[in-house]
Amino acid sequence: MMFKISPENWAFLIEFAWLCAKAAGLLGFVSLSVMFLIWWERKVSAHIQSRLGPMRVGWHGCLQTIADTIKLLLKENIVAKDTDKVSFWLAPLVSFVAAFLPFAAIPFAKNLVVQDFGLGLLYIFAVSSLGVIGVFMAGWGSGNKYSLLGAMRASAQIISYEIPLVLSVLSIVMLTGSLNMTKIVEAQGQVWFAFSQPIAFLIYFISALAETNRAPFDISEAESELVAGFHTEYSGMKFSMFFLAEYTNMFVVSAIAATLFLGGWQGPFLPGIFWFLAKVYFLIFLMMWIRWTFPRFRVDQLMNFAWKFLVPLAFLNILATALFLVLKK
């Protein structure tokens, strides 16, 4: 029996193929961007510490990451005896997929977005909440106390800081009345939300640092206490998948910050994509700067800071925003 394919089914199939092509293009962009960011981080850290950083491979070591990737690909695949095979193998994949999925709703420029969801912001928070599962799987699957402790720390931190993160974003949603990323960008034609909502921006940025497990919130992989945290047992390609996920996460939180608070793609003269990428990479540079200049928080300080300072402050900010909206009416 033959199936007849009607025109609308053809349209569906073409749209499906087009979506796949967009996703593949995005994947290529993300990999290139991560390669650049790893080199950039090494250079930034080196110059902050009065060193040179990688200098040998390419101009100022710009091809160093490619050489490192080839080395990681060729490494022996080491799997310790007590690992839980399923969790151990799937964990890097889950981490990376959770880091990559939010890209679908991030507008890179006007009309340059994979899928312009009405519920874009909610989608981003929903899919990025899956990242914790990958951390758990890695920590538990490694069958190693350091990994387990690292995973517990990382996930406790991610869960705690997710609350002020979402609360700070809520005030932006209240001001625009929409969860659509494009609409939120367009609402900032006059003034960026970073200026009209400075407290929300600060709360978001601090929580984002903690969400990505970056210093000063990197107790989850504190070298002096935990070897390397939840990815202690990983090597070769699986290790580089975690690295890829970490830098992709940095890009995602900075892209959300640029979209929600810094006016997204909007800017004078130059094309939108340039402004968007400039804002994103500036925020990532800020994250690197903070990482290499501040010491690490202690565990109890970290939790106290989230629950006793950031969460109440975020609630107050929401209250103030609501009052402002009511009085304006």
Complex with other proteins: residue 45 or 176, whichever CB lies closer: 176
Task: Give the one residue of 24, 52, 159, 322 binding other proteins; rule: CB under 8 A.
Answer: 159
Contact 243, 212 (CB under 8 A): no
Look up residue 247 and give its two tokens.
């830098």
Window contacting other proteins (CB under 8 A); options: 147-155, 201-209, 234-242, 249-257: 147-155
**Per-residue binder mask for other proteins (CB under 8 A), 9-38, x = binder:** x-----------------------------
Look up residue 327 and give its two tokens.
């009085």
Site for other proteins in 243-262 (CB under 8 A): none
Residue 151 binds other proteins (CB under 8 A):
yes
| Interatomic CA distance for residues 308 and 26, integer angstroms | 39
| Interatomic CA distance for residues 120 and 260, integer angstroms | 12
Report the amino acid identity of residue 113: V
Task: Give the one residue of 148, 154, 262, 306 binding other proteins; rule: CB under 8 A.
Answer: 148
Look up residue 155 and give its two tokens.
């996930």
Complex with other proteins: residue 143 or 216, whichever CB lies closer: 143
Residue 132 binds other proteins (CB under 8 A):
yes
Window contacting other proteins (CB under 8 A); options: 20-28, 48-56, 120-128, 287-295: 120-128
The sign one gets for the Cα dihedral 310, 316, 320, 325 is positive
Task: Give the one residue of 84, 198, 223, 294 binding other proteins; rule: CB under 8 A.
Answer: 84
Q: Can you list the alpha helix ranges (DSSP code H) found in the chain? A: 7-48, 64-74, 85-100, 120-128, 131-141, 145-176, 181-186, 193-196, 198-211, 223-226, 236-261, 272-293, 299-304, 311-328
Q: Give contact residues for other proteins (rule: CB under 8 A).
A: 3-6, 8-9, 82, 84, 86-87, 117-119, 122-123, 125-127, 129-130, 132-133, 136-137, 139-140, 143, 148, 151-152, 155-156, 159, 179
